[in-house]
Amino acid sequence: MHHGKYRFIVSLLAVPLAVYAVFVVSPYVQAFPIAFTNWEGLSASYQYIGFGNFVTLFHDSVFWVALRHNLFLLVSLPVIIVTLSLFFSAALNYQGGVPGARIYKVVYFFPGVLSIAIIGVLWQFVFEPRNGLLNGFLRAIGLDGLARLWLGDGKTALGSIMAVVVWGGVGFYVVLFTAAMAAIPRELYEAATLDGAGAVQSFRRVTLPLIWNTVQTALAFQVIGALDLFALVKILSVGPGGPDDATQVISLYMYTNAFTYGKFGYASAIGVTLFLINMILTLLTFRLTRRERVEY
């Protein structure tokens, strides 16, 4: 009986484990030693150079620009996306649900299932300077002065890409937050109204504390997402990462180093650094947003 059980377990696990070990575990494990080599180009020869790559990285101005952008996005994107989504969710749930709430949720969520690459191509058209949707719209309503190069202008390039992230990201969190809000018992709102609380107050005193756990999860998702804007930046930015590194982010810089310049050791060092930053920030987010969970 036991013999049969173990043979069964082993035969079920063997293939999946092998696939997972080869394509997931081993690459992650190898990334660390490669980060300590000077491996360049497609030749197989390389030497271990200790922390050399990390020292170079420390003096690499592009890396610092990219890191600064990542940190900026890391703070601003979650704030914008979570605020907007909370606002829309509250509006959708207003007095137990506005008419058409279901349709809104279906429409809002849709960009969230679209490929980031496809969203990138779509918005390339929107931002196109001469015939794009955005400048066309601005000219049509008489705001010609506001029309600009968007992605080609260092001042607006990063902001334009951020707008796309917000456009694509809000729907997911609206659905997430409305689901959490729908679980709040109606009596709590009725009690709040009886106590004289307005819409804003009952949102602050009832809704927000009760869905705080979900907000916290949303923020953690955002932190991970904000470090990885690779596809959008690669497709949307001029250069890519330009103009003049105005939209450079760490993931794109790593990709360029590895697959354009062939600097595999250096790219892995960037990857390891990104990983460490990611770990720290995720832990930090959970600590900062930790609050007593309210049971109801």
Partner 1 sequence: MVRGRVLGGVSQGFLLVWGAMVVFPLLWAVLSSFKSDQDIFTSPWSLPTRWRWDNFSRAWNESHIGTYFFNSVIVVLGGVVLTLLLSSAVAYVLARFEFPGSRPLYYVFVAGMVFPGFLALVPLFFVVQNLGLLNTYLGLILVYAAHGMSFSVFFLTAFFRTQSKELAEAGLVDGCSHWGVLFRIMLPLARPGLVSIGIFQFLGMWNEYLLPLVLNTDEKRYLVTQGLASIAVTQGYHSDFSGLFAGLTISIIPVLAVYLGFHRQISAGMTAGALK
The CA distance from 89 to 144, in Å, is 34
| 142 binding partner 1? (CB under 8 A) | no
| 284 binding partner 1? (CB under 8 A) | no
Contacts 24+ apart (CB under 8 A), 99-105: 101/178, 104/174, 105/171, 105/174, 105/175, 105/178
Tell me the torsion sign for CA atoms 161, 167, 172, 176: positive
Q: How far is the CB of 75 from partner 1 (least distance, A)?
A: 19
- Residue from the set 154, 217, 286, 289 that interacts with partner 1 by CB under 8 A: 217
- Residue from the set 53, 251, 256, 285 that interacts with partner 1 by CB under 8 A: 251
- Contact, 200 vs 86, CB < 8 A? no
Residues 101-130 that bind partner 1 (CB under 8 A): 104-118, 120-126, 128, 130
| 17 binding partner 1? (CB under 8 A) | yes
Amino acid symbol at 19 = V
| 30 binding partner 1? (CB under 8 A) | yes
| 186 binding partner 1? (CB under 8 A) | no
| 5 binding partner 1? (CB under 8 A) | yes
Residues 226-245 that bind partner 1 (CB under 8 A): 227-228, 230-231, 234-235
**Strand, helix or coil for residue 133:** helix
Q: Which of 31, 61, 26 is nearest to 267 (CA)?
A: 31
CB nearer partner 1, residue 246 or residue 268:
268
- Contact, 237 vs 161, CB < 8 A? yes
| 199 binding partner 1? (CB under 8 A) | yes
- Residue from the set 70, 202, 222, 268 that interacts with partner 1 by CB under 8 A: 268
Burial zone of 212 (CB within 10 Å; 0-12 exposed, 13-18 middle, 19+ buried):
middle
| 278 binding partner 1? (CB under 8 A) | yes
CB nearer partner 1, residue 55 or residue 107:
107
Using the contact rule CB under 8 A, the part of the chain among 64-72, 86-94, 153-161, 286-294 near partner 1 is 86-94
Q: How far is the CB of 103 from partner 1 (least distance, A)?
A: 8
CB nearer partner 1, residue 246 or residue 264:
264
Contacts 24+ apart (CB under 8 A), 220-225: 220/282, 220/285, 220/286, 220/289, 222/77, 222/78, 222/81, 222/82, 222/169, 223/74, 223/78, 223/278, 223/281, 223/282, 223/285, 224/278, 224/282, 225/77, 225/169
**Strand, helix or coil for residue 178:** helix
Q: How far is the CB of 195 from partner 1 (least distance, A)?
A: 16
CB nearer partner 1, residue 112 or residue 243:
112
Give the alpha-carbon dihedral of 94, 100, 103, 104, to 10 degrees.
-40
- Residue from the set 15, 141, 142, 292 that interacts with partner 1 by CB under 8 A: 15
| 169 binding partner 1? (CB under 8 A) | no
Amino acid symbol at 175 = V
- Residue from the set 179, 182, 191, 280 that interacts with partner 1 by CB under 8 A: 179
Q: What would the x/- binding string for partner 1 be over residues 39 to 58, using CB under 8 A?
A: --------------------
Instruction: List alpha helices for 35-60, DSSP H.
Output: 52-58
Using the contact rule CB under 8 A, the part of the chain among 58-66, 72-80, 149-157, 168-176 near partner 1 is 168-176
